[in-house]
Each structure stands twice: as C-alpha cells, then as structure tokens.
C-alpha cells in the first residue's frame, strides 16, 4: 500500500512539472528497530523495482527516501536509492550516522541494534552544473559530512528524514537552515507525515531552504507534496556576494574525506 501510494504521489508531482522528486525516510515501512528485519528488502527488490518504473514512466530524477535494506551478507542498512529519468539506478546512500539516542521520558532509539552504518558519500548530477548530495536524517547533525559534500561541489543537499515530536520542534528547521548556511547550498529535509497511531511519531514538516537560509517550501505535519525551485543563479549570486566558502583558512585547518570499503 505504501509503495503504490508513493508512486501515485510521485506521478502527481511530476505531472505539475517536478524534475526531481524526493521521498521520505523509511517510506515503505514503519520506522522502528523491531520493524527493520521484517521489512528489509534486497536491492533490487519489490520497492526499488517500483521506484525504477516510476522514475522511467514520469521521466524524472527520483530519490527513493529510504528503505530498510538487506545486503548479500545479511547485514541491514537504512538505504536511499537514486534513479535517473531512464529508470536506471544511479546511486545508493546508506545512512552513515546511526540514530542512537536516549532522552529519558521522551525518546530512546538505538538504530545500531539492527542496522549497520554506510561508509560512503553519494552525489549525482542533474546536469553539468547541478550536483546533488544525499544523506539521511540523523546525518544532518554532522556538519563535517555536509562540508564534504560542499567540497565535492554540491548545490543541493537532500536529507530524507523522520525527526520526532521531541527533537523535531527543537532542531529540524534549525539544522536544515544551518547546513544551508554553512555551505551556501540548497537543503531539503523530507519527512513522512505525522501518524498519531504509529510507534514512532514523525514530526513531518518537510522543508526546503535556499542558499541564503530562507525557507522556500514547507508543510506542517500532514501529508503534502512540497514544491520548490532550485535557482542556481541565486546560489551563484549569494556565493559571490558573501564569498565565505572561498575564504576558509585551509592553511590553518582542513577537512579530508577518507575512502573506506563499502
Ligand atoms: N530519526 C533520526 O535519524 C534523527 C532524529 O530524529 C534526530 O536527530 O532528532
């Protein structure tokens, strides 16, 4: 049901002219450690086959939020898949920082009880001068990861993510706007809608922020498609007027990406 609903909404977004569509974290399953083994799929599998067809039929770039993935060795990951308008799988990203937190009386979550972390950054190009980077939810709290994407030349950073009713109101928007300003990039956080009957109650509030840190697309807690324009001229103008990305003191400090095994 979730997969076919996602495909309906993807087609709806594409029919209004969307060229890139992004789904939320864990859009095909409940979000919770006990659910991951039950709902995990291989790639290719039922969900990714449907997404592939959806991207092709609608001739769009599609970022398939995330799904619980089971790899060939049996390990589980929180994984996002990316398709081009021909329906080809052009990349995957596995959540790098697992959501292990304990706020007594509010929320305790330990993704690492079920999942393994990914070790690799993932970018894809929409055109010669438009590069997109991808990370998932808790990854937004790690500014060095976003800076590495900036170093790789990204213009837009996507975070399929499901914050909750404790951390969502406090941090979701602030983090998305911070990552946008840190790196003078467009940033989108794409959340499942709030479901009062779910074990994990998502904060919702899908949000798109521009290079200046302004929110240019947003919804509340209910299900909604959020639309936005990525204006690369605006990005260039802001970076020219406020050139702090090129004013970093790499003679004093530096950031290095390490290449690890998958
Ligand atoms: N669900 C997450 O991965 C992260 C989250 O809710 C938070 O950082 O807060």
- pLDDT tens-digit series, residues 77-102: 999 999 999 999 999 999 999 999 99
Is the pLDDT at 43 greater than 80, yes or no? yes
Residue 60 CA to residue 55 CA, distance in Å, equals 5
Q: Closest residue (by CA) to atom 8 of ligand 1?
A: 138
- pLDDT tens-digit series, residues 48-79: 999 999 999 999 999 999 999 999 999 999 99
Q: Model-level pTM?
A: 0.98
Per-residue pLDDT, averaged over 234-262, amounts to 94
Is the pLDDT at 262 greater than 80, yes or no? no
C-alpha neighbours within 13 Å on the C-beta side of residue 59: 3
Parallel, antiparallel, or unpaired: how do β-strands 20-22 and 61-63 relate?
Answer: parallel
Residue 164 C-alpha to ligand 1 middle, in angstroms? 7
Model confidence band, residue 260 (pLDDT cutoffs 50, 70, 90): confident
- pLDDT tens-digit series, residues 166-218: 999 999 999 999 999 999 999 999 999 999 999 999 999 999 999 999 999 99
Q: What is the set of domains in the chain, with CATH numbers? A: 2-242 (3.60.110.10)
DSSP state string for 53-73: HHHHHHT-EEE---EEEE-TT
Q: Closest residue (by CA) to atom 2 of ligand 1?
A: 138
Pocket lined around ligand 1, Cβ cut-off 6 Å: 99, 137-138, 141, 162-164, 167
Determine contact, residues 41/82, Cβ cutoff 8 Å.
no
Pocket test for ligand 1, best of 164, 174, 191 (most atoms within 8 A of CB): 164
Strands (E), the chain: 20-22, 61-63, 67-70, 76-83, 89-94, 100-103, 107-110, 122-127, 130-134, 156-160, 186-190, 207-209, 215-218
Residue 30 C-alpha to ligand 1 middle, in angstroms? 15
Entry field: residues in the chain: 262
Residues recognised as catalytic: 25, 95, 137
Interface confidence (ipTM) of the complex = 0.99
Cis peptide, bond prior to residue 126, ω within 30 of zero: no
Residue 176 CA to residue 218 CA, distance in Å, equals 12
């Amino acid at each position: 049901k979730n997969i076919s609903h996602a495909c309906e909404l993807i087609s709806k977004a594409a029919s209004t002219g969307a060229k890139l569509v992004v789904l939320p974290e864990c859009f095909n399953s409940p979000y919770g450690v006990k659910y991951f083994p039950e709902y995990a799929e291989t790639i290719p599998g039922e969900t990714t086959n449907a997404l592939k067809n959806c991207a092709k039929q609608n001739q769009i770039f599609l970022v398939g939020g995330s799904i619980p993935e089971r790899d060939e060795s049996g390990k589980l990951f929180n994984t996002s898949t990316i398709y081009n308008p021909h329906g080809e799988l052009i990349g995957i990203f596995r959540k790098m920082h697992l959501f292990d937190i304990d706020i007594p009386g509010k929320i305790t979550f330990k993704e690492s009880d079920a999942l393994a972390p990914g070790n690799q950054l993932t970018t894809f190009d929409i055109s010669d001068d438009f590069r997109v980077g991808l990370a998932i939810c808790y990854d937004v709290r790690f500014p060095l990861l976003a800076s590495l994407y900036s170093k790789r030349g990204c213009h837009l950073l996507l975070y399929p993510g499901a914050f909750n009713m404790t951390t969502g109101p406090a941090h979701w928007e602030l983090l998305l706007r911070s990552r946008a300003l840190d790196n003078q990039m467009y940033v989108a956080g794409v959340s499942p809608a709030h479901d009062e009957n779910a074990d994990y109650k998502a904060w919702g509030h899908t949000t798109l922020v521009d290079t200046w840190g302004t929110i240019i697309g947003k919804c509340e807690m209910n299900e909604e498609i959020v639309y936005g324009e990525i204006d690369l001229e605006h990005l260039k103008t802001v970076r020219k007027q406020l050139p702090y990305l090129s004013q970093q003191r790499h003679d004093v400090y530096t950031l290095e990406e390490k290449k690890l095994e998958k």
